[in-house]
Chain A
């Protein structure tokens, strides 16, 4: 069943239909908030609250847009608010950052994946955003443009700059081409 049909069912009060949308998008949304917040529990909270807010405001959803794009903006705002509150509350102690896996698990994971995550974490928010949307969520330029409310041309130039910056970071980290 496509998103539009599920949204229509939701508007009639069908919570199961909304559950289907949650199942469909919780993983990409969680990954977006995780990249922004760098904390599994915070990312989980942000993802969950984003869905609840989406349900609350579903009648404001513009059907001409992709549902994920709309949902994405809600999740990003939720993550930004949390990040802002956290910064005001206390500086983030890097030693306490929950990377989501124990040292033992980390060694089992693809090392390159971990390295690239660390590199992406060093990007600015706007650069990290386009990198995550393009390379983790596999969105097209147009889809990213829709999600970010910017022209596709802006997406292209931002991606180029972000990739160039990432190249510099990888060099600093001593990462060579495989």
Chain B
């Protein structure tokens, strides 16, 4: 079988031949049984491929992407732009963290976790803003972004601070769950961790959950004493030893 005939057959099945070429091909197929066989075989493949169809993409991809890139942007929104560089070039500095966030958001959905936010602290001036893909506790430069994903030991919370330092406290509300804030080097996991965090920081909190679920309250305290709280509810976790 010559290459040119193969090419012609393929183009014909792709609908990419002129009327003259089609006539020429039909003549070849009539005169050459081997060519006819070849044509019929490829036709069968095209017929089968005609049943191919695109699957719908899962819900939430767009939101997840925007959450990641905006989450990074919000933590740097007031940073001065550098001359001669695209406005978002600085995002490269923080987006590796955001990319991790995406994975966390996605995994969360298959992980049957839920989350909710509670009203602000005693001052009532700040409150957690609910998101479908992640959680922001507080508002403005003192707010933090909280994302979560499963880990070998149970779960992991990523705390991204904004443009101002804040004090963040995490409290496990379920009996067995334990937390350890790796950046702070706490020697042993405990039900509660608390630390004063600098601006634009990413802190990882590792969690264990022997009974495969955890409820963690996140409390953000501003320098003036105002508070905002949020709550992360996770279930279906990997059992921790």
Contacts and interface: CB of A to CB of B under 8 A. Distances in A.
A15 B73 contact: yes
B42 A164 contact: yes
A7 B95 CA distance: 19
Interface string B91-116: 11001001100110111001000000
B54 interface: yes
A13 B88 contact: yes
A40 interface: yes
A59 B51 contact: no
A170 B40 CA distance: 14
Q: How large is the interface on B (under 10, 10 to 19, 20 to 34, 35 or more residues)?
A: 35 or more
Contacts of B95: 52, 55-56
Contacts of B55: 30-31, 34, 100
Given A19-B62, A49-B99, A56 B91 contact: yes
A40 B95 CA distance: 24
Contacts of A44: 57-58, 61, 106
B139 interface: no
B88 to A, nearest CB: 5
A160 B6 CA distance: 8
A147 interface: no
Given A15-B70, A56-B91, A163-B42, A113 B61 contact: no
A4 interface: no
A146 to B, nearest CB: 17
Given A27-B54, A31-B55, A56-B92, A116 B49 contact: yes
Given A45-B107, A59-B86, A116-B51, 14 more contacts: A11-B88, A13-B87, A30-B57, A31-B54, A41-B110, A44-B61, A44-B106, A48-B103, A49-B99, A116-B52, A136-B53, A136-B54, A156-B7, A167-B42
Interface of B: 6-7, 10, 40-49, 51-58, 61-62, 64-66, 68-70, 73, 86-89, 91-92, 95, 98-99, 102-103, 105-107, 110
20 contacts: A11-B88, A22-B62, A30-B55, A41-B107, A44-B58, A48-B105, A48-B106, A49-B99, A56-B95, A59-B88, A110-B51, A116-B51, A117-B52, A131-B49, A135-B52, A156-B10, A163-B49, A164-B45, A170-B44, A170-B45
